[in-house]
Amino acid sequence: MNWQEILAAAATLFFIMDPLGNVPIFNSILARFDSRRRAQIVARELCFALIILFVFLFTGNAILGFMGISESSLSIAGGILLFIIALKMIFPVTKQASEEEVVEDPFLVPLAIPMVAGPSTIAVLLLLSSGSPEKMTQWSIALLMAWGATTILLVSSPFLMRFLGERGSRALERLMGMMLVILATQMLLNGVRDFIESLA
């Protein structure tokens, strides 16, 4: 088992899940609930997100085969998508919950999807499962590590908001965005390289 690959995949997934960027949204949506009900909702939504992500991880090859998508095209598309997400993290628009998002009990949407189990996270899981299907145990561990770190941050979000403040949270999110830009660029270059090699 290659722990270097596991940690790299876990870090990538963690950056994409963007828990620091989601902390203000979680707080605004759940502000009306007491601490016990809030903890129940967060735990439920995070479990839903984990199940959804595992489904895409283990059905990645079947999905790509059914749709006729090559690994190089997925890598290029994933790199572009991650780059857009990273730019939004570096140059954020004020994130506020809309009236549609503020519901009595936010079931599945928007906390589980797309806040945690978003399209960019799913794209990376599809890429991992299709590129190295023999390493599913490693990717599962990486997903659990990223999800666990995200869970810790989101559960402790009230404390984090008081400790970091708005400026500190924004600075950390931009740092994560910079790291994600590098990862997105490498993913895009890998996809272009694989496409060129397939033509040869």
pLDDT one-digit tens code per residue, 18-48: 887 788 778 777 878 888 888 889 889 999 9
Estimate the crossing angle of helix 119-131 against helix 71-90, to 10 degrees. 150
* CA angle (96, 91, 53) in 5-degree steps: 65
CA distance 18 to 30: 18
pLDDT at 100: 44
**Whether 154 contacts 38, CB under 8 Å:** no
Per-residue pLDDT tens for 89-136?
Answer: 788 765 554 444 444 677 787 788 878 888 888 888 988 888 888 999
**Mean pLDDT throughout 8-12?**
92
- Listed in sequence order, the DSSP H helices in the chain are 3-17, 19-30, 35-58, 60-67, 71-90, 119-131, 136-155, 157-199
pLDDT at 30: 81
Give pTM, 2 decimals. Answer: 0.76
pLDDT at 55: 94
**Mean pLDDT throughout 153-178?**
77
Burial of residue 99, with CB atoms counted within 10 A of its CB: 0-12 exposed, 13-18 middle, 19 or more buried: exposed
**Residue type at position 42:** V
* CA angle (11, 47, 164) in 5-degree steps: 55
Confidence of residue 195 (pLDDT cuts 50, 70, 90): confident
pLDDT at 104: 60
Highest mean pLDDT among 34-38, 42-46, 66-70, 79-83: 42-46
- What are the sequence ranges of the domains in the chain? 3-199
pLDDT at 99: 44
Burial of residue 172, with CB atoms counted within 10 A of its CB: 0-12 exposed, 13-18 middle, 19 or more buried: middle
Q: Per-residue pLDDT for 58 more than 90?
A: yes
| pLDDT averaged over every residue in the chain | 82
**Mean pLDDT throughout 169-182?**
78
**Mean pLDDT throughout 53-71?**
84
